A and B are shown apart, each in its own frame.
Chain A
Amino acid sequence: DAKTTQPNSMESNEEEPVHLPCNHSTISGTDYIHWYRQLPSQGPEYVIHGLTSNVNNRMASLAIAEDRKSSTLILHRATLRDAAVYYCILRWDTDKLIFGTGTRLQVFP
């Protein structure tokens, strides 16, 4: 399974944009890039996913590099409720999710 690399932690102030990077240099052509997040004391929750084009939904935006070897999850205006561990996961036609250690995002008021 292709591996992803994320910073261990990041910090942001409330209402500022946050860019969470993910490197996946060994991504294959059919791997989708998924992001999940895990709030304290909860199970993970889906955030967004994409293949080649940038994607937007109500929670976040996903910017995918042209060579697909990296991607960035963008939270446009961080809130205190966005404090969580964010996981970048590559996934192709396999049902299981393979989590790394993710990025712990701290949001300060």
Chain B
Amino acid sequence: DTGVSQDPRHKITKRGQNVTFRCDPISEHNRLYWYRQTLGQGPEFLTYFQNEAQLEKSRLLSDRFSAERPKGSFSTLEIQRTEQGDSAMYLCASSPPGLAGNEQFFGPGTRLTVL
């Protein structure tokens, strides 16, 4: 399968714990995005990388959230000291080099439940 993959698919954690999610984009896609989606809402943009550079961060990304893409390939999203409000689906997407308006390819998401 050559699509965007995310790991884990599901994560249940207790409030106050740290969690880390991984996203593997489609090979040769230099742009990578993180979104968050809560029940009944559309996805909300969190952050965006072009290669290893983090070019934009949403105000939704509090200081408890950090994202990295160290070698311009896979990316990780870490949430420290999780809160119940962090429960959501975390989606990763990638797009190829070229026009900024290129199609984004989404992964299946990681569903986080904070107890």
Contacts and interface: CB of A to CB of B under 8 A. Distances in A.
B43 A97 contact: yes
Nearest to A44: B106
Interface stretch (B13-21, B68-76, B78-86, B97-105): B97-105
Interface in B83-112: 91, 93, 95, 100-101, 103-109
A66 interface: no
B61 to A, nearest CB: 12
Interface residues of B, number: 26
Contacts of A94: 100
Contacts, number: 60
Range for the number of chain A residues in contact with chain B: 20 to 34
B44 A45 contact: no
Nearest to B4: A43
Contacts of B91: 43-44
Interface stretch (A21-29, A72-80, A98-106): A98-106
B41 interface: yes
A60 to B, nearest CB: 14
Given A43-B93, A93-B101, A98 B45 contact: yes
B68 to A, nearest CB: 18
A24 B50 CA distance: 29
Contacts of B50: 95
Given A49-B101, A94-B100, A95-B31, A101 B41 contact: yes
Contacts of A91: 101
Contacts of B105: 45-46
A8 to B, nearest CB: 10
Contacts of A42: 106, 108-109
A94 B99 CA distance: 10
B42 A99 contact: yes
Interface of A: 32, 34, 41-46, 49, 85, 87, 91-102
